[in-house]
Amino acid sequence: MSDSTKPELISFDLCPFVQRSVITLLEKNVEFDLTYIDLANKPDWFLEISPLGKVPVLREKGEVLFESAVINEYLDEVNPPSLHPADPLKKAQNRAWVEVGGNQLMHSFRMMMAETREDYDAHRDALIKGFRMVEDQVGGTFFNGDHFSLVDTAWAPLFTRLLIVEDVLGENYLPSYPKIRAWANALVARDSVIHSVREGFREKFLTYLQNKTYHGNTPGYVADRLASAA
């Protein structure tokens, strides 16, 4: 049972959007409880508090918040110092790039879930094209330079997964993007990102992808390639 004096984050253990909020909590050194649910069999109590039926959900002080970007904004505001730039225009721009990160996560997910080679290639192309404008925005070690920000918490889950699949399949999803490559490597090596997923995440994530099947239990394109690479 969770400690009601701590914020409680309700999670599915492979969800990248939950990982965003876990990273933020770890960066803020906030004590919190993490409750895992099965998204394929959502408990009634969860459906009663989650308007969209999705994770993450944050429970604190008897109230509920949902949507990872909103949760992170709240956590950042009530647990200073802020992970946002102080300048209002720069802060607004960072929020916009958080949204771009969400779009890239979905391109990546659709690519990994692709049924056919054609579907995979289409989503792969969309993913790589989506990085094009980001390359010139990366300011250094992290998105804004030397200072870790909420943009970094939003993009780290994408790179966590993408670099695993790259490694296993021998792919390159960041061609001609040296700034993003260096940023991705810095993020996945950061303590808050490493500890934002459960032990054995790599193996469980790959198993999840490898188990993706379609009509007649035919494996998806990435699932088939992972089986061949095993």
Q: Say if CB 186 and CB 143 are below 8 A apart.
A: no
> Which structure tokens are listed for 207?
């198993």
Is residue 15 annotated as a catalytic residue, yes or no? yes
- Token pair, residue 148, equals 């870790």
- Helix residue ranges, H only, 79-220: 88-112, 117-130, 132-135, 150-169, 178-188, 191-194, 201-210
Residue entry with tokens 């990435």: 222
Residue 178, preceding peptide bond in cis (omega within 30° of 0): no
Question: How many C-beta atoms surround the C-beta of residue 164 within 10 A?
Answer: 17
Query: What is the Cα gyration radius of the chain?
Result: 18
Q: Are β-strands 8-11 and 33-36 bridged in parallel, bridged antiparallel, or unpaired?
A: parallel
User: What are 217-223's contacts with CB under 8 Å, separation 24+?
Assistant: 220/113, 220/114, 220/115, 221/114, 221/115, 221/116, 221/117, 221/119, 221/120, 222/111, 222/112, 222/113, 222/114, 222/120, 222/165, 222/169
Of 9, 10, 14, 15, the active-site residue reads 15
Residues serving a catalytic function are: 15
